[in-house]
Each structure stands twice: as C-alpha cells, then as structure tokens.
Amino acid sequence: MSTPHKQIPIHGYPTMVGPSYAPIKTESEVFSLSLHPTEDLITIAQLTGHVACYRYTDDGAAPVEVWKAKRHKKSSRGVQFTDDGLHLVSVGRDRVIKKAATETGRVVAKMTDAHDDAINALTIMSETLIATGDDSGCVKFWDERKPGKAVREYVHHFDYISSLQPLDAKVLVATSGDASLSVLDIRKGAFVAQSEDQEDDLTSCALVKNGKKLVVGQAEGVCTLFNVMKDNSQWGDHVDRIPGHPGSVDTMIAVDQDRVVTGCSDGIVRILNIQPNKFNGVLGAHDEGMGVECLDLMRGGEWVASGGGSEVLFHRINADEEDEEKRDRSHDSDSDDEPRKKKKGKKMKDTAKPKNAFFAGLD
C-alpha cells in the first residue's frame, strides 16, 4: 500500500536572500514574463491582454514603464524576447501570435487564427523558428521564412499544452494536462515518442545535467525525472520522483546543471537540487493565495524573476552552502504504485476557426 506524499513545510528550509530589486505591480494578473538577454528590461504579459515593458534597476528604485500595449483581445498567456533582444513574441487566448519591436513595442508582424484553440505555450527555437501549443493539445512549428501556415503540426495530446522545452534547435518536448509528455522532431517531420500516462497533469519542465535529464512538474506537487533521449527509447516512464511541493508546480526554470527554481500554486519560489534530490531553500513568496505563474532567469544567472498575482518579484539565487544540517534533506524516490490523481480542469477555450496567414500584416 502506498503512503501519501510527505508535505515539506516551508519553514523547514533556510530562507535565502529575498527580492532586492523593487517589485513591479501590475493592473491585472501576470501570466508570463521574459527578461531581456543584454539590457535591464523585462516584458510582462497579463490577463487583460496587455503586454508591458519595464526598465528595472538594482538600486531599489521603482521600475520605469517603457511602453504598454493592449496586445491581445483576450488574455496574453506567453511572451518571450528573441535571442538578439531586438524583438519579442507574444501569444494569447485570442489565438494570435504577434512579434513586436523591443524599443517601441510596435507590432512588426502577426498571425491571426494561428490555432483552433487558445494558445497557452510559446518557445523560441531559433532565429526564425518558434513553437506554440494550445488548449486542445496541438503543437505547431512556425518558420518566419515560410509565411502562410505552420511548417509542422502535431496532435498527440488531448488536453492543454502546459510547457514547451527545446532539446536543441529542432527537437522539442511538450508537457500536457493529459498526464503525458511528447518528443517532437521538426527535422524528421516526425513524432518521436510519448511517455506513459503519469496519472497527473504535467505542468512544467526544465533541462538539467547537461541536457541528459528532464525535470517535470506535476499538479499534485511531485517533480519527476526523465532520461533525455532524442529517439523513442527511455521516454516511456520517469526514473525518479521528488515529492515536497504542497501544491501544483506550475512553472520552473533551470539555473545551472544541478538546480531548478520552481514556482508553486502556494505562492512560494523554491530552489531544488537534482541528484541528490533536496530542497536548497526558499527564495521568496508572493501574496497569500496567489500562485507563481511564471519565472525567468536574469543574465548572469544570479537573479530570477517570478510572476504571481498582480506583481513581479526579483530573487537572488544564493549559492552559498548555508545551514547544511537543515538543507541536506534528500527526497528518496517514491513507490510507483501511487493512487491515480484527480486531473485539473481544462483551461477555458475559444471556438473560432483559423483563416488567416502567419505574419500576414501589421497592426
């Protein structure tokens, strides 16, 4: 008989250095954020469909709004700067993809009706290639050099796409609310692999161990570990389980090859070491009842930004080995015979059908 997952109390860990940069207060709930690769800029996507760009400083001064735009008719669920920092891409529940200039916020290209359902996930694969996932489980690849339609489309999931993680410039892992993940290879135009049913919504993921391990967050607070293969071997089931989060692990980001920062539905931002599996500390917390929706790593890797409720906080990632007795709490692998978990409700959907071309015009 399996035993319930042990809930690790927040106060069991040493609290690390909290936010030092002044927080950003927004008018509505933060759904996504992205930190600029070379400048002190952050862009934030919100429930109202607005996307805003702020300049922040490390002297405690309030961030300055550079520009703000009503970018999507419905909620804006994803935003990301391009690698060169000159543009940003946003997606929304209105099924629209937009590309805008970082300096001004002016839209330079867009695609309307990009998906049949609300777009929930976005990742930039290369200078010209992006991937998006929607609430019905569809993943599409878009090549800006080939306007008109998606260059690849995969429908191997039946519930929302929660996160997209590139393995390289052409291979992608998608996690889904249908309790499985899939591996997609645009070079081969093929679906590579799909995991077994993990009996719980898969909500987030991150690569560690020099790309050899994938950490996957789940709705019931467990993180699972998969071996990373670019073919169909070893993707069937996880190889390790890390309990300890008291709520859904809705977002995570790798900070180095051994650690990830996680954002939980309890509003706490934690740092988790992988193999050995142990919580290294609490970086900070959002207002009670406000879950952490998104994370991004600042250039240099010493700070992370988190979005939860109507605020963005900045946290310093402390690498010092403090209070080893409290921090050395390894989490052994759970038994695989856990009772089946209750699935979370599916995100709200739109019903209009696609009709226009990719990046067909300007705002």
3-state SS track over 24-91: EECCCCEEEEEECCCCCEEEEEECCCEEEEEECCCCCCCCEEEEEEECCCCCEEEEEECCCCCEEEEE
Give the residue among 177, 60, 191 at the shortest CA–CA distance from 117. 177
On whether residue 102 sits in a domain, the answer given is: yes
On whether residue 347 sits in a domain, the answer given is: no
In this structure, the chain runs to a length of 363
Token output for 229: 């293969």
On whether residue 342 sits in a domain, the answer given is: no
Average pLDDT over residues 322-343: 37
Q: Which of the four pLDDT bands, split at 50, 70 and 90, describes residue 321?
A: very low
On whether residue 210 sits in a domain, the answer given is: yes
Residue numbers of the domain that contains 80 = 10-327
On whether residue 231 sits in a domain, the answer given is: yes
Residue 345 DSSP SS3: coil
Question: Using CA atoms, how far apart are residues 322 and 344, in angstroms rounded to an integer?
Answer: 37
| Residue 11, pLDDT score | 47
Give the residue among 52, 313, 56 at the shortest CA–CA distance from 305. 313
Total of domains in the chain:
1
| Residue 120, pLDDT score | 96
Question: Using CA atoms, how far apart are residues 19 and 30, in angstroms rounded to an integer?
Answer: 17
- Give yes or no for residue 18 having a pLDDT over 70: no
Q: Which of the four pLDDT bands, split at 50, 70 and 90, describes residue 250?
A: very high
Of 29-38, 109-118, 293-302, 315-324, give the lowest mean pLDDT range.
315-324
Token output for 256: 């180095």
Residue 16 DSSP SS3: coil
Token output for 297: 């790593």
CA distances from 21 to 62, 112, 172, 316 (A): 8, 37, 33, 9
On whether residue 346 sits in a domain, the answer given is: no
On whether residue 91 sits in a domain, the answer given is: yes
On whether residue 121 sits in a domain, the answer given is: yes
CATH of the domain at 66: 2.130.10.10
